[in-house]
Amino acid sequence: QSSVKEAGAEEELTPVALARQVEGLKQQLLSSHLEQVLGPSAAIDFTDPEGALAKRLLQQLEVAKCSKATPGKGPPRGPPAAGDTVTFELYWRPEQDQFTHSAKV
């Protein structure tokens, strides 16, 4: 019954009241000092949260794309693929597969 009452209460909210609640929640988020607790990477632009999130994701992708693996850690790579494709590398160790197979038997 409480969920029915809550649903009824939500329907009675006017856009102005809802905007006030959103502003109050935004102030609560700002006052909780998330940046101090979680670090500067947790900062979100509250004027455009989706845009800020997309921008941060693109920055992280650029960093991942530009960072290179340590040399000698894997097999030599061929020429890089075209910029509009995604390339996956699969590392397979036959001895590990053999151990797994013999463990099943």
How do the pLDDT tens digits run along the chain, 105 residues long?
Answer: 555 455 555 567 788 889 899 999 888 877 777 667 766 666 666 666 677 778 888 888 888 888 754 445 555 566 665 667 777 787 777 887 788 888 887
Per-residue tokens: 23: 């502003």
Per-residue tokens: 20: 């006030």
Q: According to the model, what pLDDT value does residue 73 have?
A: 53
Separation CA 47–CA 11 (nearest Å): 26
Q: What is the DSSP letter of 73?
A: S
CA separation, residue 53 to residues 31, 43, 59, 66, 84 (Å): 20, 10, 10, 20, 22
Separation CA 54–CA 22 (nearest Å): 22
Q: According to the model, what pLDDT value does residue 70 have?
A: 45
Q: According to the model, what pLDDT value does residue 21 have?
A: 92
